[in-house]
Amino acid sequence: MIDTRPPLIEVEDLKTYFYLDEGVVRAVDGVSFTIRRGQTVGVVGESGCGKSITARSIMQIVRPPGRIVSGSIRLHREPTAADRPGDVVEITRMDPMSKEMRLIRGGEISMVFQEPMTSLSPVHTVGSQIIEAITLHQPVSREDARRLTIEIFSKVGMQQPARTIDRYPHQLSGGMRQRAMIAMALSCNPSLLIADEPTTALDVTTEAQILQLMRNLQKELGMAIMFITHNLGVVAQMTEIVFVMYMGRVVETATVDDLFYDPKHPYTRLLLRSIPKLGSKAAGTAPRLESIRGTVPHPYAIPKGCPFHPRCGDMIPGVCDVVDPPLVKIGDSQEVRCHLYTPANAPGSGEVIPLTTT
């Protein structure tokens, strides 16, 4: 199945490094992917693999000592007429402080963060912080912005919107704060919403409500969502396509179905095996929760060849620890960065090589 929706964001060979006294941290080291209009994509990977920095790079809000070193991020605007393609802007070419970039931030691309407790200013009312977003991007008066805020508050299921608007963040529960954050992010009808672990800090019930809310809003408003998470259960519920990241790179791209039923990269397989199976615990037959062998290598000392090879059970000596694996396309929609699938090592086919169990 080939996705025919037009592209919205094209990231190509993006590199974002942090220049520290101790050395250079290659937080994002050659990431490429495409998000299409209205698509929900998931980004998964262990802590520190560069998910958040990829998101911040798209918004150009990486702070020194970090900066985008190379690569391109293209934003495709909606066509104004049926016969004319929309503008394509190159985000990495823009000055992060420029007006042009600021209008994209919060206007065309917006973001919801992990910590609803600290993501809102403690000394301003939640309403005023959303009104600010609206007046920055839309030519409306403060009164109209206030009205719009109340409207969007009821849309995100905020209790008593007309009263909550004048509340301070510390007077709201975590779930309500995250709803306020979502309201802020959606207040200007962005074409892409980046949600960086938006439910990690919430309890399970609230998490379920927020996920349901995001699904409904996505259906209603049709924006694309880039969903960053550790939780593969959330990925299964929320997304169409998944990027698996390891050490600043996308190592596998797959549809949700392929990810769960036909994972290719050894890292993806281990990631999947590390989630407990539902019900197995109750049956008393729970296999030990398998965590991935070893830890992420030190960011200053990225291994030669495939960065995953020291932890990989299927490492091919002399290949994986020497040569950087190329990107291999499998089928229409799956891509994997692994030597096991290159023609040289899997002659004649894209067939899956039987993996040794570790």
Residues at the interface with ligand ATP (CB under 6 A): 18, 20, 25, 27, 45, 47-53, 66, 230, 299
Indicate the residue among 104 and 336 with the shorter CB distance to other proteins.
104
Partner from other proteins, Mg ion, ligand ATP, none contacting 121, C-beta within 5 to 8 A by type: other proteins
* DSSP assignment letter at 24: E
Nearer to other proteins, 59 or 259 (CB): 59
Chain centroid, CA 153 distance in Å: 24
137 lines the binding site for other proteins (CB under 8 A): yes
C-alpha 318/C-alpha 303 separation (Å) is 14
Q: Please list, in sequence order, all residues whose beta carbon lies within 8 angstroms of the beta carbon of residue 145, skipping any fewer than 6 positions away.
A: 131, 134, 135, 138
Of ligand ATP, other proteins, Mg ion, none, which one does residue 53 interact with (CB within 5 to 8 Å by kind)?
Answer: ligand ATP
Please report how close the Cβ of residue 272 comes to ligand ATP at its closest, in angstroms: 17
Comparing CA positions, the residue from 213, 144, 143, 140 lying closest to residue 178 is 213
Nearer to ligand ATP, 18 or 153 (CB): 18
Closest approach of Cβ 55 to ligand ATP, in Å?
8
What are the strands, taking DSSP E only, across 247-299? 249-255
Q: Report the alpha-carbon distance of residue 292 to residue 174 in Å, rounded.
A: 32
Q: Does 172 bind other proteins (CB under 8 A)?
A: no
Rounded distance between C-alpha atoms, residue 93 and residue 137, angstroms: 22
Site string for other proteins, 270-309 (x = CB under 8 A): ----------------------------------------
52 vs 253 by CB, closer to Mg ion: 52
Contact of residue 115 among Mg ion, ligand ATP, other proteins, none (CB under 5-8 Å per partner type): other proteins
Of the pair 156, 330, the CB lying nearest other proteins is at 156
The whole-angstrom separation of Cα 10 and Cα 164 is: 38
| Residues that bind Mg ion in the complex, under the rule CB under 5 A | 52
Kindly write down the DSSP assignment for every residue of 115-168, as one continuous string.
-TTTSS-TTS-HHHHHHHHHHHHS---HHHHHHHHHHHHHHTT-SSHHHHTT--
Distance CA 193, CA 223 (A): 7
Q: What minimum distance in Å lies between the beta carbon of 52 and Mg ion?
A: 3
CB 103 within 8 A of CB 89: no
Residue with Cβ nearer ligand ATP (54 or 187): 54
AA letter at 133: A
Contact (CB, 8 A) for 315 and 232:
no
Rg (CA), the chain: 22
| Residue 107 lies near other proteins (rule: CB under 8 A) | yes
Contacts of 50 (CB under 8 A, 6+ apart): 16, 27, 28, 29, 31, 245, 247, 248, 249
Could you say whether residue 67 binds other proteins (CB under 8 A)? no
Return the closest-CA partner of residue 243 out of 228, 257, 233, 231: 228
Structure tokens at 255: 């549809």
Quick check: 184 binds other proteins (CB under 8 A)?
Answer: yes
Count of positions on this chain that bind other proteins (CB under 8 A): 32
Using CB under 8 A as the binding rule, whether residue 230 contacts other proteins is answered as no
Residue 76 binds to other proteins (criterion: CB under 8 A): no
Say whether residue 115 binds other proteins (CB under 8 A): yes
59 touches other proteins (CB under 8 A)? yes
For residue 65, say if its preceding peptide bond is cis, omega within 30 degrees of 0.
yes
In the complex with Mg ion, the residue whose CB is nearer, 52 or 60, is 52
| 105 sits near other proteins (criterion: CB under 8 A) | yes
Interface residues toward other proteins, by CB under 8 A: 59, 61, 97, 102-107, 110-111, 113-115, 118-125, 129, 132-133, 136-137, 168, 170-171, 181, 184
